[in-house]
Every structure is written in structure tokens, then in C-alpha cells.
Structure 1
Amino acid sequence: MIELLLAIVAIGGVVAVVYSYALYPLALFVVGAISQGLRDVAFVFRKSERRLEMQRTAAGTEPDWPPVAVVISAYNEERHIVSRIENLLALDYPADRLRAYIGSDGSRDRTAELMRRFAHEPRLVALPFEQNRGKASVLNDLVSRTTEPIVVFSDANTYFERGALKKLVSRFDDPKVGGVTGELRLLGNAGGDNQDSLYWRIEQFLKFFEARIGALLGANGAIYAIRRALWQPIRPDTICDDFVIAMNVSAGGHRLVYEPKAWAEEDTPEAIGEEVKRRIRIGIGNFQALVRHPQYLTRTSAATAFAYVSHKVLRWTAPHLLLLALAASVALAVQTGSTGWALYAAGQALAYAAAWAGWQMSSRGAKLPTLVKLAAFLFALNWAFLVASWRYATGRYAGSWGRTSR
């Protein structure tokens, strides 16, 4: 009986991780294709599916765009804050319908001073808070001051494409839609793709097809929007605020949709070490959300729950599953004397050692083949999740800001 349980752990742990990273995208593609096919059939017979999408493109009409609030919480962003405000003021959106609420969270640099340069601008509400309270608290404060029916969230180091706001807001024509997330395009230091670009593209693929089956998970913090009426204040120590804010909308029975035509750009560091620091912090926020918000599984749609477990929960717990699988494999090899189990354990250990070596080489700036770079990134990602789970379990984290280059 013990050997059977060990075998289940040894094989099941690896299978679960392989499923999350490799098989789930395939399954999602198939389900998404079937879902789209059924909608196409419904459209052919009922002619009712796509009319909302056509309303804003009716010839000779200019839509009655709703008032929009853009909310940004900034900390030590003197490098970006001026160009970010200028970016918002230059957006293709009616000036009398757009207002930006930007709060400086006790910044210790010139962020608040630079914000004051725009004191004459009626479209900007600049709030230079003196006390550093954390991003979540500032977001709660900023949103409480808004009156606009649509609230758009973004970051101080992100730049919207000029027409992004209209594309984002247009999806709210559907009264069932409670939130819309746009697309973030990551740039490297030289203006090209960042070091985890292949992984990022896979994530965009998953986001697209999850949205197709009505299972979009959270939002992209750089560019997303919700209906003001659906806003729920978040706890002050919340780390993954974008995920929690959007999933609260989903758990309330409203649709989250993805609009890739509404895009924004953001620089990201080439150094994998910088990315690991950021991933550890995000990982802590992931475990925080998993423990605090069981309603994301119990009160969302079946499709959302399926995607949440497959895409998120299994990813967050992947290093734990792999370590358990390795330990069970070693135990079986010792207990049974089986050459097969010994080789299975050795294969796992060698694969992890090779990925670790790739991570170390990448951290030193070595140019690696794409697949080796991806393996190194995945090792770093899972290492970050492992460290994050330990810090969350031991309470070694805070809700205040954690600075990286991105």
C-alpha cells in the first residue's frame, strides 16, 4: 500500500506539472475551438451574437463615450511620471470624459514634485501622499475619489497606445462584461523582446483562449478596466492587486474579457536575477490570493475554476509537486531496489541540475539557445514560487512596495 502511494506521488507530481505547462494549453485550444464553433453556429441561426461589437463601427456615428477614470499608484517613479502623464493626456479619448487619478505613495524621490507641474491640468487629480502605505491602500483611496462609471488601472512605467482606451472601453457595450484586460507588450533594454519572451507569448496564448471560453483569470496590471459599481476595496497588504480586483469581479458573476487590440508597452530588465526578485514577490501574492479567496474556485464559473486550477494553482505548486515526486522516487528506489525507479529519480535530479546550470549561466549574461534559456527561466520561476511559498507560510512579507527595474 505504501509503495502504491509513493508511486502515485512519484508519477502524479510530474504528470501534473507536465499537464499544466504542456497539455493544458493543448486542451484549452481544443475547448476554445469547439466553443467558438458553437458560437458561430448560434450566430448563423439566430443572428444575435455579434451585434454589440458592430454598434461602435456604425457608419457616420461617433459613440457616446462614457466618462473614464485612470487610476495609478506610484512609488519612486521620477524617471517615468512626467512622460506617463503626458501619455495619458495625449490619448485618443474625449478630453471632457477622461480624468487621471495619480497618487504618490510617500515617494522618497522627486515623483510628487514632478506631479505638481501639472497642477493646472483639469484632467489630472494628483495626490502626493506623504506616508508610504503600500499600493493597495493607495488604490483604495484613489478609487474612492472617482465618480466615473469605468475605472482603468495602470502603472506609472507603462505607456498606452494612443487608441488603447477606446478599444478597452468599447467592450463595456455588453452589459454582462464587468472587466476588460488589455495586452502588455514587454520590451527589453534594447527595445526588443525580453528574456522570457517565449514564456510571455505562451501566457498571451492562454489568456486569449481562456477568454474565449469565459475563463479569463485576473487582469494585466498594466492595462485593465472594471465597472466602478463592481469595485470592492482590497486588503491593505494585498500584493497581487490586479489579480484580486479582477477576480472579485468574476466571483461576483460578471464576465472578464480580453481585448488584445488595447495594448500598452513596458520596459523590462534583461537580467534574469531581477525577474526572479519580482517573481518571488508575485508568488507571495499568488499564495496569499489562493488562501484568502477560495471563492475564486467556488463562486466562479466551471470554466474559470478549470482554468484556475490548471493554469494557476498547479503552476504555483509545481516546485512542491516536483520535489515530492523526486523524494518519492528516491524512497521507492531505496525500498524496492528497482533499477527503474533509480533511473527515474536520477533523470529528475539531472534535469533539475541542468536547468539550474542554465539559470546560473543566464544570470551571468551568457547567450543561450532558446530552449535552454526557457528551461533556465522555468527553473528560476519555480525557484521563485518555492521561496515565495516559504515566505508566505512564515509571514516574511509585507504589502508595501518591492522595487525592481520593472
Structure 2
Amino acid sequence: MRVLLVGDYPPPYGGVAIHVQQLHRFLRGRGVEAKVLDIGKGGRPAPDVHPVRSLAGFGLKLAGFLSAGWTVHVHTSGNNPKSWMLAAAASVPAPRAPRIITLHSGLLPDFLAASAARRALARTALAGYSRVVAVSEAVKEALVGCGVSAEKILVQPAFCASQVSPGPVTPAVELARARRKPLLAMAHHPSPVYGRMLMFRALRMIAEEVPEVGLAVFGPGTRTPEFARDARETHVAPYLEDLGELDHEEVLGLMSRCDAFIRPTTHDGDAISVREALTLGVPCVASDVCTRPEGTYLFRADHAPDLALRVRQAIAEGPAHVASPDAGPVMLRLYSELAATRQLGSASSQWISIQETRHAAQ
């Protein structure tokens, strides 16, 4: 079996990129010949990872794998036109190469609901795939609404629990751990979707009761004038631990040392960070904007007092003991089933060809 994963590969450490990296590691650990066609911004060199930086380069490399009969698994968000163009490009006819696609974004339903043209594009782009993996029931329902057969869709969170383990703990994290009690952590991005201002308002409320509290913030945009302005206006600057951008392994190290991980997003999908925290045995507080894994402490979206309340509850009660999903074995079985179907189809075609030849000879 030979599997090509198509999608972003770290860095940067977005949810799709992390999942592609972890699924790649899982497959290689099971002895599967697996490679990655990295269509992201370009990361560090890694074994069997092939970066592509142009549409022409993508087409040429993909064509080579398709003609060689590799099983191709595309990973994309599904929440913008570029994502659907990628899906369509990777679904070109190639009878010897089964195609699978995972659609990752919780914003996909709203994107498709916005116009009939988008729904038609999605339906056409997915026609060439043997199976479609949706990360949530909401994503599946949106795809069915476009005309994609429900029997073709598999709902599976994009998460590989077997690949999650605490990474190295940096000196900055150890320092934060030593001087903050409790120590909270939050992934940051300049986009308002990540809920920075909401978290800052809730942090101020928590600090009024627990002045030793600290919030470790990591990710892009923590050292911008806008970030500093928001921290100043909400009076939380003294409680912040700005860790900048971390490698994914360092993020897991931070999670393992904090008292609670917070996901205050205004829109979301199946956030990999939420599942990582739960897998590591760390209390996780997240907005109720989408279905969250069992064991998550939910707060009402855009409601700072409720967020502060749930953080205090999570710290007092501790983590829930939950079983985390693992997409690795599920995808491995799916690849095997498609490979077996392809071989059966090939054998059937050969038998029909032989019978037609015999009939013609008579």
C-alpha cells in the first residue's frame, strides 16, 4: 500500500498541518509507504515530504503519483474558493488511484450556505473522490445539503491520539509555571475569531479573585501594537506570559504544565488543540460555538463572565477522564478497503477482457 497525503505540513502549526504530520508519522510507524505533498508555506525538510510552490509544480508531482497508482488523501479546510479549487484539481480522473478528502473547517457550513454556486462547486469537486471525511456532523450535513451522497461521507475527527505526548518544556514555560498559580494557556492569532478580547475580559475577572493567575499566550501576533493596546485597555498586561510562536512539541509541553487550556473562539471546527489538552489530562474550557469533545468545560460564546466561571470550575474540578479518538487506524482501514476494491475491480476487468477475447476468437 502506498499513500500520498496532500495538504499543509508544519511549520506553521495550523490544525490541518499538524494532522497531516501526525497521520504521516502514524502510517510510517505502521510500515506504510507514505509521502506528503506539502502545499503550505514551506517548513523544515522532513523525510518523504515534497514541497510544492506553484500550481504547475503541484500538477506535475500529483500526476506522477496518480499514474503510479498511489492512494491520494487530500486535506483542506473547505471554507474558501482556493480550498475547493485544490479539491477539484486533485480529483482528476485516474482509475488506478483511489481518492479521499478530509474537510477540516467548522466554517465550511456557513461558507457553502452563502450561495448556490459554492454548493455546486463543492458537489462537482467531490464527485471524483471515493470517500469524503467530515470532521463533524455539521460538516456532513452541509455536504449532504450540496447533493453529496451521505453513504460516501465518513464522520471522523481529524485527530490522532496515539501521536500526542508531552513535548519539551522551555525555560520560559518553567518560569511562568513557577510564578503563576493557576497558569492558564491559550493559542493566539490576530484574527478576532480566536477571541483575544473576550479572554482578556474574563482574565481580568479571574484576577480580581485570584491575583496570582497567569495566562500563557502563544502564537502569531502577540507582539503587535494591537495586542499591547488590548492588554492595556483591559488591564491584564501584568497577568500575561507572552511565549511568542512555539513549535508544536513545545505547545504540548506547555499544555502538560498548565492548569487549564482555554479555547475562546467565536467560530470553530473540531479544534485539535482541545482534543490535545483532553488527551494530556488537562482541563479544557471552550466556547459552545460547535460540538466539543466529551469532557470539555463549555461556556456561552462571547460571554466573559461565563468564561471566567467555567475556568474557575475547571481548575477546581480538574480534568475529565475521556477516551480520545484516533484517526490513524480508521484511515488505515479505509485505505486498505479502497486498495482491495481497486484490486478486485482490476481482476474483474481482466476476466471480462479475457472472456471478450475468447468470444471474439470463436
TM over 0.5: no
Higher helix share: 1
Q: What's the TM-score once normalised by structure 2's chain length?
A: 0.30
